[in-house]
Amino acid sequence: MHEPLGKHAFYGVGGPADEFWTVDTSEKFGEIWAETIALGMPKLILGKGSNLLMSDRGFRGRVFCFEFQNVEWKDNFVTVEVGKNWQAFVEETNEHGFEDLCNLSGIPGNVGGFVRGNAGAFGIETADFVKSVEYIDESGMIQRASKNDCQFSYRESIFKSHPDWCITKVTFELTKKTDPNKALQQSKTLLADRWQKYPPGKSGGSFFKNPEGNFAGKLLEEAGAKGDRIGNAQISEKHANFILNLEGKATQDDILSLARKWKDIIKRDSGIELQPEIFICDEFGERIEL
């Protein structure tokens, strides 16, 4: 009860949740999920807390943190529960001799968040390897969706537009066999390189999506965004698409004010409307629009 959400999110921003549930198995979760929906309570699935900006006013409902993370292999198919840390999962696929997911190494999050948001890098996306998804619907029943049913697109999936559906397991199909040591080294090298490029300090990762044919960071840098500050929020001097929480003292309003300022400037100067990659959450679980 009244668990501070700031300590569970990369941004370090977020007041207390009315209820905070740690879930270690998916077997009985359907009952709790259906009850939460039937009661009309705000709800939030909290993964590793990246790509998320919570409200300083906290959360007036139930926050669920998944710790179930079993992995099952059958030839080149692997089924993994959504609480599994993504980097640990990538390295496990490497140890089995697959290099398919190497380019997605180093991005913070868990398996559920990667699938829901169709995370991607270096020309590949999570959806490229998804075979099927198991989820719990609004009535607490287990359902299965094929890759096509998931309606994947750039940083999107059907699960984003159906907040009453909760992913529990994902089956991936891998095809690129290689030497396990080579694959593991490739992932670990990319992990180190990626974290070296990330600006130091608290942030939720890239704040804006890359518009088609362009890069949000490039647009912001060319517009002079680097180093700009409102309150205790500052655009990184190292990468213009990162908004930092200085000394852990920034509020959600500080970060939103800075993001809105530069979104408006980019729109005015280039006609391009940047969209947040970060999920900006109010105290009732609704998305805050910039």
Give me the active site residues, please.
155, 206, 277
Report the greatest alpha carbon distance in the chain.
53
Nearest to 165 by CA among 193, 189, 137, 188: 137
List, in sequence order, every residue forming a beta bridge with 4; answer none if it has no partner.
16
Bridge-based pairing state of the strands 130-136 and 52-53: unpaired
Locate 18 and state its tokens. 């009315």
Angle at CA of residue 110, ends 107 and 116, nearest 5°:
95
Report the alpha-carbon distance of residue 259 to residue 235 in Å, rounded: 9
Could you tell me if 40 and 82 are in contact, meaning their C-beta atoms sit under 8 angstroms apart? no
